Structure 1
Amino acid sequence: MPGGRRHGRRAARGGWLARLAAMAVLLSSGSVSMAAPPSGSAKLLRHGTAHDALYDVVFEGERGIAVGAFGNVLATADGGASWQVQPFPMKHLALMAVAMREGKCIAVGQTGLVYAAADCKTWKAAPSMTKSRLLAVDVTRQGLAYAVGAFGTILKSTDWGQSWAVQTVDWSGITDDGAEPHLYDIHVAEDGSVTAVGEFELVLRSSDGQQWKALHKGERSLFGLSVVEGGKKMYASGQSGALLSSADGGATWVSHKTGTGAILTGVHATAQGEVLASGINAVVLSRDGGATWSPLNSKLVRNAWYQALAASEGSGGKRRLVAVGAGGTILELDL
């Protein structure tokens, strides 16, 4: 996975290179602890080459987009059952995240690159506002978008990602010594409020992108964020098997024991209380809102990393939950 840290800036501890080193150790050791007997299963939908890593996936109904290394973009129109390689104008850098809303898409990645597509097919580069790696992006139905990434980088767009403005944050009141934390995931609510997670176990909230407050702090990095029930319930996943939940819109957070010490990079939750977290050699599942957990029973999961999770929804409420990650692999997860 792409990494690196620039010199000459105050570096937040536990950053991207440390995350990569931990991933390498876990990939070579391959063991995680279990909280309960294994449950669920995984089905291989697609497997690429060793260089085809996928870092994010998103669905809107049955349409979906997955993005990854070397400008790799895959598209599906049947809820994830089949995937096709989509032409993309850039092939030398990684796309780290993608957002889809109202049939429009935004993808972000290395060196601050941003691409927007009004039809999720024809991608056009937006003017670059940063050289920092962008690691997450989200957008509302009105086209309000935020992207976050390395060294506390936050960008805001009001036109579906065609143009962006840097949001300046005073980190001195949020982190020790004013360290600029990497931000790994973000959610933009339809009312314009923004929630971001990142290093120092930070959960941040802003109503306008300019003034930010910390809702939660800790020791571990948080990499994934999932929001359900109109924003009332939230889940965040991270280092050392971290899984946090909030039942009051993010005001307070509870830590859950997932039974694994693996890095959990992705999390997906449903209104029915199902919560799934994916990461390095591990996928863990809760059916009761995080109270109890069990590992997914599949060698496909135990031998690779899966960066992100998303679910499609077809006619009659039929859904397909997929995980994307190493080697361009896409798994269907059966809960």
Structure 2
Amino acid sequence: MAARHLDERRRVARSGRLQSAPLLARLAVVFVLCGGPASTPAQSAGAVPGVPVAATFKQIRHGTHHDALYDVAFEGERGIAVGAFGNVLVTADGGATWQVQPFPMKHLALMAVAMREGKCIAVGQTGLVYSAADCKTWKASPSMTKSRLLAVGVNRQGVAYAVGAFGTILKSSDWGQSWAVQTVDWSTITEDGAEPHLYDIHVADDGTVTAVGEFELVMRSSDGKQWKALHKGERSLFGLSVVEGGTKMYATGQSGALLSSADGGATWVSHKTGTGAILTGVHATPKGEVLASGINAVVLSRDGGASWSPLNSKLVRNAWYQALAASEGPGGKRRVVAVGAGGSILELDF
């Protein structure tokens, strides 16, 4: 779920020095301060990036400059995208067409959305959380934080987590209607107990939750109370994709970062994607296809991350695409879409 309109500048001290880097922290191009020395970096895979591959790009929708979309989610052929100024779009035909859905809030950005069992949860600026039992009738939940919430995930039992700025973690056990702040002992996770921005999250059906964020952090908990770092490094991680079954996982981030795990997150390998672009979105399939999107770049692997090829298009070169998701129709027919700048929804056929 990068810097989703994080318009504040963050100061993070490490060993008496500051490191700064331009980030797209899952939302828009801004500058924030982040960093820190490497710690147990992932093993680097030495694959040589591939040449551009044939792919078809179709712009399904394009709005105005202020219509940025920050996240998209599908369940079967039903889908939902959210973005700036409470913008909500929905589809019932696998993403072929989209309609604007009325939303009760219009002055703040919705940063992320999750859809499961026909229910939806959306989160955003100033800690706002909305839930809809039918993905249509939205109700605000009591605010538990003023921090930006940058990602949300929910499982089939209605257990949901929302994460965001400065280590914020919220948990719900009732499909997002009520939330509780999760207290983390960051001294056991990060150097000097720094509270990292958390940019994406996945909630498994058994309740296991995995989050990614600053300091190349991948961390996990079985209940939201006790957390363990699975991986740390130098770059921020913005996107997380878990292949059905939970064994294979992929994370994207700064400087073309792409990490993969083949053992459910216990160990991670870093891959050379052939781009230095900030990669914020990632979508992976059981067939080993991995697609990553970000600022002026979309890259594809057909072998689980071992080799990569850029997908070239004028629709990609001068734009950013924050998030990726795929619908699934009759007979397993899929449609992969990317959402991002200018309210664009892009279909990718590869």
Alignment TM-score > 0.5, same fold:
yes
Structure 1 counterpart of 2:208, one-letter code = S
Equivalent of 2:77 in 41, 50, 62: 62
Root mean square deviation of aligned Cα:
1.9
Q: Which residue of 2 aligns with 1:105?
A: 120
1:99-120 CA-to-partner distances (Å, cap 9, x unmatched) read 0000000000000000000000
Alpha-carbon separation, structure 2, partners of 1:11 and 1:190:
37
Which of the two has greater helix per residue? 1
After TM superposition, the score normalised by the length of structure 1 is 0.93
1:38 maps to 2:49: no
Q: Which residue of 2 aligns with 1:234?
A: 249
1:43-94 CA-to-partner distances (Å, cap 9, x unmatched) read 1000000000000000000000000000000000000000000000000000
Q: Is the 8 A contact 1:14 1:221 kept in 2?
A: no
After TM superposition, the score normalised by the length of structure 2 is 0.89
Output aligned runs, 1:11-50, within 5 Å.
18-20=22-24, 23=29, 35-39=49-53, 40-50=55-65
Alpha-carbon separation, structure 2, partners of 1:167 and 1:80:
35
Structure 2 counterpart of 1:170, one-letter code = D
Equivalent of 1:287 in 297, 302, 305: 302
Structure 1 residues 179, 73: CA separation in 2 closer, same or farther (over 3 Å shift)?
Answer: same
1:207-228 CA-to-partner distances (Å, cap 9, x unmatched) read 0000000000000000000001
Alpha-carbon separation, structure 2, partners of 1:151 and 1:18:
18
Equivalent of 1:184 in 199, 203, 214: 199
Q: Which residue of 2 aligns with 1:334?
A: 349
Query: 1:297, CA displacement in angstroms?
Result: 1.9
Query: 1:35, CA displacement in angstroms?
Result: 2.8
Q: Is the 8 A contact 1:116 1:161 kept in 2?
A: yes
Secondary structure of the 2:64 match is coil
Identity %: 84
Equivalent of 1:220 in 228, 235, 255: 235
Q: Is the 8 A contact 1:204 1:216 kept in 2?
A: yes
Structure 2 counterpart of 1:77, one-letter code = A
Q: Is the 8 A contact 2:5 2:29 kept in 1?
A: no
Alpha-carbon separation, structure 2, partners of 1:136 and 1:14:
25
Alpha-carbon separation, structure 2, partners of 1:292 and 1:211:
36
Query: 1:11, CA displacement in angstroms?
Result: 7.0
Structure 1 counterpart of 2:129, one-letter code = V
Alpha-carbon separation, structure 2, partners of 1:327 and 1:20:
15
Output aligned runs, 1:269-308, within 5 Å.
269-308=284-323
Secondary structure of the 1:5 match is coil
Q: Is the 8 A contact 1:149 1:182 kept in 2?
A: yes
